[in-house]
Amino acid sequence: MYLPFLNRTETFEPLISHIEQTRSEINATAAAVVIIQNDHIVTEWYSGFHHAKSGACPVTSDSQFNVYSIRKTHIALALAFAVIEAGLELDSPIHPYIDDVPFEEISTVTIRNVLTKTKPKFFGPEKVEGEGLAARIVKKVTGKTIAQVITEKILDPLQITNTEWAAIPKKRLVCDFTAGDGYASVRIESDEGHERNLYMSAKDLAYWGYIFLNNGVVNGQRVIPEPVFELLGRLRTSTGHAASRFMGWYFSDDLFEAFGATGCHIAVIPKQNLVAVRMYNRYATEHTETLLKCFS
């Protein structure tokens, strides 16, 4: 995927300075910012190294950060594809698609619950999470994993190449500090798409937001069908639903956004035709800075 570069970095210099200062304060070794506005990349900035020891790779446009919970937007999109393909209703029960979780634990769980994260976090003796339930439904309906669905329908058609579910170590993966011993580490899991090992470059994450900003159409090519956004609209207007999180995105009046555990953040602001991405590789509970300071 390609968008032209129109350098407006000077406009966003206060934001970049603040993010760099925060990177130092929270002891993150890596940071990145990419901003897309009016169909152009207007800011692209990288700072630091993949970890803190000698020999660490510098952060570049190819560096891939673990986006953690932002992956839930990918999982939900794959599930939405499956729901539409199978002609399911939002209130369809999921138990016909789940073979390895006790019926009594999921008998009242619906597609709506999975897409809005409004049921218990864990299910069954193996503590299957909602993302695992989504993976099972997608596989049962489509015969494919979440990663395969997203790759075939989004990544490959748009030639988005710095997004992957890391199953083997690679040089471009940025370490983070979520390990209990505090050591820099990368998270290697299956390549199926539902686990906490989705690594993306800052630019790829911005492209991901750009696809949603444009309601699934990029350069005249529709990669997300309109029924997906109709489904999202029905979720958001459901009466009696108090949550603000739908299909992995947090919605407010003027924007929608998603967050990852080590400080990755994407904000989509339709009124400004803008997508903003910030990446870190360390979480800090006292850290409250968001991208939105610059766009309010």
Q: Report domain extents, the chain.
A: 13-294
HEC states along 77-123? HHHHHHHHHHCCCCCCECHHHCCCCCHHHHCCCEHHHHHHCCCCCEE
CATH number of 13-294: 3.40.710.10
pTM for the structure as a whole: 0.95
Element (H, E) at 33: strand 30-37
Question: What is the residue-level pLDDT of the chain in tens, covering all 296 positions?
Answer: 999 999 999 999 999 999 999 999 899 999 999 999 999 999 999 999 999 999 999 999 999 999 999 999 999 999 999 999 999 999 999 999 999 999 999 999 999 999 988 877 888 888 889 999 999 999 999 999 999 999 999 999 999 999 999 999 999 999 999 887 778 999 999 999 999 999 999 999 999 999 999 999 999 999 999 999 999 999 988 755 555 889 999 998 899 999 999 999 999 999 999 999 999 999 866 555 556 666 65
